[in-house]
Chain A
């Protein structure tokens, strides 16, 4: 099945810093989503981005499907950005079913 690798596994930042999270996947996809899991365990959908670039406030994401990677950018980080960021992909022919990476744990210190 499709493999999803996220890097780095852990990231520690000072408030105000910028960061880039990476997601590599092993096969063609029709579906790619980024999620944030907050320290209380709630999973929030950040982006549905099988290709192209999207922005939402301080967050933006870019997926280059032909090269099988996606990037999540966080600018001017805040302590509330702390948590785990997951990338999840859906392979062609089964795109509703997502395969998740193991996540990047982000800690933003004040």
Chain B
């Protein structure tokens, strides 16, 4: 099925551990995004990539790194997880000329 695939769906980390959230899209979209959703806060942009090989910071980039591996894949890495990074993470993609987002199903991350 065409769309945006995120893995894993759930993850529990201990403070200080690292992990990478994976995202892949098969719609040939140019742009990809990582957002986090916290209760009562809506969604906030962490990083985005306008095209393969380019990335840029969003509103809340501290504590995260990203890699646009190719046109399909955009990963988000937490180098040293903190309890403040407990959240639901969403990946999305869009294409030039029509900027409607397609979201993945999300990753629920808990840092203890």
Chain B residues in 8 Å Cβ range of A103: 42
Decide: A98 and B88 in contact? CB cutoff 8 A. no
A45 touches B100 (CB 8 A): yes
User: Would you list which residues of chain B between 65 and 111 have a CB under 8 Å from chain A?
Assistant: 88, 90, 92, 94, 98-103, 105-106
Chain B residues with CB below 8 A from A4, complex form: 42
Docked CA distance A48–B101 (Å): 9
B90 touches A95 (CB 8 A): no
When distances are taken between beta carbons in the complex, the residues of chain B under 8 Å from A58 are none
Number of inter-chain CB pairs below 8 Å: 57
A107 interface hit (Cβ, 8 Å): no
Chain A residues near B41 (CB-CB < 8 A): 102
Taking the nearest CB of chain B, how far is it from the CB of A36, in angstroms? 11
Bound-complex Cα distance A43 to B3 (A)? 12
- Interface residues of B toward A: which range? 20 to 34
The reply to whether A86 and B43 contact each other, CB–CB distance below 8 Å, is: yes
List 3 A-B pairs, minimum CB-CB distance, nearest first. Answer: A48-B100, A100-B42, A43-B103
Binding site for A on B (CB under 8 A): 31, 33, 35, 40-45, 48, 50, 58-59, 88, 90, 92, 94, 98-103, 105-106
Query: A residues within 8 Å of B by Cβ?
Result: 1, 4, 31, 33, 35, 41-45, 48, 86, 88, 90, 95-103
Contacts A/B (CB < 8 Å), 23 sampled: A31-B99, A35-B101, A41-B88, A45-B100, A45-B103, A48-B99, A86-B42, A86-B43, A88-B101, A90-B99, A95-B99, A96-B31, A96-B48, A96-B50, A96-B99, A97-B45, A98-B33, A98-B45, A99-B45, A99-B59, A100-B42, A102-B40, A102-B41
